[in-house]
Amino acid sequence: MSTSQGVNVLRYSALAAGLAYGVYHQSSLNSHARRAEADREYARKAALIEQAKAEWKKKTTPQQSQTQTSGVISDPADNRFDLEAYLKAKLGE
pLDDT along the chain (93 residues), means of 10: 84 97 98 97 97 91 54 79 83 75
State the pLDDT at residue 48.
97
Q: Cα dihedral angle (47, 49, 51, 57), rounded to 10 degrees?
A: -150
Whole-model pTM: value is 0.50
State the pLDDT at residue 65.
45
